[in-house]
Amino acid sequence: MTDPLDLFNLLPEEDRDKISADAQHIILLRAIKRAHDAMSPKVAERFLKLFHDVNLDDQIKLAFLEEYMPDFPKFILQEAENLRKELSRG
């Protein structure tokens, strides 16, 4: 049986880069959703205001997550593993 990663490596580098970037965005969005769902209503409201402020630097948004949701890095790792499992089942 062929390893799907072997097929991925046959793609041109720019395609691999695009797919990797898309996967990173999916993982980050899923982790943010989990963090939001775990917050109290008051913190979640503040979170939504911050994340919809396009003028606010991403580092400030991530610092907020780290302060109010210390499990956020763990969520990222778990979502990466979840996506890997989903793709391997596909």
pLDDT digits (tens, 9 = 90+) for 15-40: 999 999 999 999 999 998 998 898 89
Range of the domain at 45: 4-89
What's the number of domains the chain is made of? 1
* CB-based contact 50:60 (threshold 8 Å): yes
pLDDT digits (tens, 9 = 90+) for 53-63: 889 888 888 88
What is the chain's length?
90
Integer Cα distance of 71 and 79 in angstroms: 12
- pTM for the model stands at 0.74
